[in-house]
Amino acid sequence: MAFSSHVASRLEEQAIELPSWAFGNSGTRFRVFGTPGTPRDPFEKIADAAQVHKFTGLAPSVALHIPWDKVDDYAELRKHAEAHGVALGTINSNTFQDEDYKLGSLAHRDDRIRRKAIDHHLECIDIMDETGSRDLKIWLADGTNYAGQDDMRGRQDRMAESLQEIYARIGEQQRLVLEYKIFEPAFYHMDVPDWGTSYAQVAALGERATVCLDTGHHAPSTNIEFIVMQLLRLGKLGSFDFNSRNYADDDLIVGAADPFQLFRIIVEVIRGGGYGKDGDTAFMLDQCHNIEDKIPGQIRSVLNVQEMTARALLLDREALTSAQVEGDVLTANGIFMDAFYTDVRADLAEYRVERGLPADPMAAFADSGYLAAIAEERVGGVQAGWGA
């Protein structure tokens, strides 16, 4: 069985943005393991990211993190990316690695520090103008560790003011995307802990401000697909940071821990009009490869997303709707599960070959010798690591 032309053409609409930081070394607070051939600069990170696109056709853009990916000439970086067949994507700001930000950034009590954090975001927007990026993604580490440590209401008000100033500088074709996270690094309260807070903040800004949903940023047993449905319903689901979590913000390979959850999420994205040409919800990865090779780790990730998207596209919505109308609980659930349990791997292999891609991108990349080549070439310099 091959995919229907409808499913095949819907699959062609899929584009997944890769995080530049996935190609640098990372680990836990206990140890960061290096790999031979790890990129030393943003140019090498982009060259590695381009490999993922080359072998899968799924990852045409790369997100940057500032200042980790700071360069002197962004036009040159953009040209370099284009020469490698990819584009520069979302610009991620960083207000969590500077001594000044110990007690917060956009929500800080001290005007000087708040000014510095706002200016950093304005600089990120200048960079977006040069890289041609659409989205500024803001994730704030702001929060407190102890009850009474600071006035939560005052922090919320200051954050709103800071965001307003940043939003005022966002171009007509650009968007501000605000990510939320339940905890970490702050352990009593985060200033943007949940989708409701992110929604309230971006709704106050305007149309070009939306929410970023990182799948690893929720309490255990949260129904994430419900949040996806609600944000799409409200027209505010700007993007995903996809990854897998077993315990906290694990940043493991998407679809590894719970493929069924990924399937349920994608079903809602399609249902809500956020998928492909229908909408503008960006699919991004936010992952770190602590012990596995990074490029194959990213290849596996985008393939996992594609596999669950194919299954979600197979859902018989007409039959599902009639079962729902009939109130036939078990038939409705059975139809849903049938789509999830469909093995699409052979069809995807055929789909790829028809488009000039390798049937098995993991094997083709392994055979390409790229990892051995970069291990040999990239001698000297300092390997990029999480935070650089």
CB 16 within 8 A of CB 280: no
User: Of 223-252, which residues contact ligand AOS (CB under 6 A)?
Assistant: 241, 249
Instruction: Find where tokens 């070439």 sit.
Output: 377
The contact pattern for ligand AOS, residues 353-382, with x = CB under 6 A and - = no contact, is ------------------------------
CB of 286 to ligand AOS, least distance (A): 5
Q: Would you count residue 352 as binding ligand AOS (CB under 6 A)? A: no
CB of 42 to ligand AOS, least distance (A): 15
Q: Would you count residue 17 as binding Zn ion (CB under 5 A)? A: no
The one segment of 56-64, 141-149, 240-248, 309-317 that binds Zn ion by CB under 5 A: 240-248
Selected from 179, 225, 307, 347, the binder of ligand AOS by CB under 6 A is: 179
Q: Which is nearer to ligand AOS, 139 or 275 (CB)?
A: 139
Q: Would you count residue 249 as binding Zn ion (CB under 5 A)? A: yes
What are the tokens at 256? 């590894």
| 11 contact partners, CB below 8 Å, separation of at least 6 | 3, 306, 309, 310, 313, 351
DSSP 3-state of 308: helix
Q: How many CA atoms lie within 13 A of 344 on its CB side?
A: 27
CA distances from 261 to 19, 46, 223, 251, 285 (A): 22, 30, 9, 15, 16
Kindly tell me the sign of the dihedral angle through the C-alpha atoms of 285, 288, 291, 293: positive
175 binds, among Zn ion, ligand AOS, none (CB under 5 to 8 A by kind): none
Output the CA torsion 279→57→250→120 (10° steps): -70
Q: Would you count residue 162 as binding ligand AOS (CB under 6 A)? A: no
The one segment of 120-128, 210-218, 266-274, 292-300 that binds Zn ion by CB under 5 A: 210-218
Q: Would you count residue 191 as binding Zn ion (CB under 5 A)? A: no
180 binds, among Zn ion, ligand AOS, none (CB under 5 to 8 A by kind): none
User: Of 286-315, which residues contact Zn ion (CB under 5 A)?
Assistant: 286
Selected from 69, 135, 268, 286, the binder of ligand AOS by CB under 6 A is: 286
CB of 65 to ligand AOS, least distance (A): 6
User: Of 11-50, which residues contact ligand AOS (CB under 6 A)?
Assistant: 21
Q: Would you count residue 191 as binding ligand AOS (CB under 6 A)? A: no
Minimal CA–CA distance to 195: which of 234, 248, 242, 146? 234
Minimal CA–CA distance to 195: which of 184, 179, 207? 179
Output the CA torsion 199→204→208→212 (10° steps): -20
CA distances from 8 to 5, 79, 115, 153 (A): 5, 31, 49, 50
Binding positions for ligand AOS, rule: CB under 6 A: 21, 92, 139, 179, 181, 214, 241, 249, 286
